[in-house]
């Protein structure tokens, strides 16, 4: 059994915490424990996951209240020391709110909650969360959110592109980034981003809900496996392929 130990943070209102726990424990058979939002100094964790759900009901703004939980100071320190932090959906929103990742979430363009399987293209496979992917690999994952319409200022976006922080983008099954493939209106079809140091990653799709063939897709497992592989190797191992190169979408589609 791997020595790597994952921690799944439980905020009041988290509801994908049990799903993440199940994937790690039962499917990947790695060590995993819940971390209660009030814990200030949890010990012995190698990777942290901020799961999806509706922390504090998302009543004020998604993730706005959770980011002041006692555990979040620990998450900030952990990230600053280079630890791996994965934020899924509401967890991504919390990472945005606390500034570990740049940008913010707006309401879906369609003004409705969207639950459906979509495709994302891996635009950067050279980070610890996507190392097991081929460059440009297309993953089938579900989204389920009301506020997944990613926004960031233009200047910051340029910097992020340059640094390879745009990790996942909504695309067609064939990997073409088009307007139709975008379920929520996110800027540049952005579905997942990382920080400059590449150790904090947030994504709107739910890899934990798509980690078994019987659930319709097991592409989500790739995210968890990448993290595990990175931790076990003690260093980053490339999944292969060329250096990262940001690929523009079909501009006519995206700017319409």
Residues serving a catalytic function are 89, 206, 208
- Beta bridge pairs of residue 142: 117
By C-beta, is 151 or 236 nearer to other proteins?
Answer: 151
Q: Closest Cα to residue 88, out of 183, 223, 218?
A: 223
Tell me how crowded residue 104 is: count the other CB atoms within 10 A of its CB.
Answer: 17
Dist CA 194 CA 4 (whole Å): 21
Residues that bind other proteins (CB under 8 A): 12-13, 15-16, 18-19, 22-23, 26, 52-54, 56-61, 64-65, 68, 96-97, 103-104, 106-116, 142, 144, 149, 151-153, 185, 206, 208-209, 211-212, 214-216
Residue 30 beta carbon to other proteins: minimum distance, rounded to whole angstroms? 16
By C-beta, is 29 or 215 nearer to other proteins?
Answer: 215
CB environment 179-198: b (16+ within 10 A), e (fewer): eebbbbbbbbbbbbbbbeeb
Two structure tokens written together for 175:
């990997």
Residue 103 beta carbon to other proteins: minimum distance, rounded to whole angstroms? 7
Residue 132 beta carbon to other proteins: minimum distance, rounded to whole angstroms? 20
By C-beta, is 52 or 135 nearer to other proteins?
Answer: 52
By C-beta, is 77 or 115 nearer to other proteins?
Answer: 115
By C-beta, is 216 or 240 nearer to other proteins?
Answer: 216
Residue 194 beta carbon to other proteins: minimum distance, rounded to whole angstroms? 18
Phi, psi of 245 (to 5 degrees): -140, 120
Residue 209 beta carbon to other proteins: minimum distance, rounded to whole angstroms? 4
């Amino acid at each position: 059994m791997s020595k790597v130990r994952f921690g799944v943070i439980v905020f009041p209102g988290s509801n994908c915490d049990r799903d993440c726990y199940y994937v790690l424990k039962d499917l990947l058979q790695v060590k995993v424990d819940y971390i209660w939002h009030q814990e200030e100094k949890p010990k012995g964790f190698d990777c942290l996951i901020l799961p999806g759900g509706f922390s504090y009901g998302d009543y004020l703004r998604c993730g706005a209240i959770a980011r002041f939980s006692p555990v979040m100071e620990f998450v900030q320190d952990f990230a600053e020391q280079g630890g791996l932090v994965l934020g899924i959906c509401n967890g991504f929103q919390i990472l945005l709110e606390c500034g570990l990742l740049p940008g913010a979430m707006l309401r879906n363009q369609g003004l409705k909650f969207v639950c459906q399987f979509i495709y994302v293209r891996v635009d950067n496979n050279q980070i610890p969360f996507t190392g097991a992917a081929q460059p440009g690999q297309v993953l089938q994952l579900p989204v389920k959110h009301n506020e997944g319409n990613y926004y960031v200022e233009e200047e910051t976006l340029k910097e992020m592109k340059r640094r390879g922080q745009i990790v996942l983008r909504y695309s067609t099954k064939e990997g073409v980034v088009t307007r139709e493939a975008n379920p929520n209106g996110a800027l540049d079809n952005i579905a997942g981003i990382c920080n400059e140091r590449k150790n904090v990653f947030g994504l709107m799709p739910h890899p934990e809900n798509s980690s078994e063939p019987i659930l319709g897709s097991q592409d989500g497992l790739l995210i968890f496996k990448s993290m595990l592989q990175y931790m076990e190797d003690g260093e980053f191992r490339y999944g292969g392929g060329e250096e990262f190169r940001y690929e523009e979408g079909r501009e006519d589609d995206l700017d319409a």
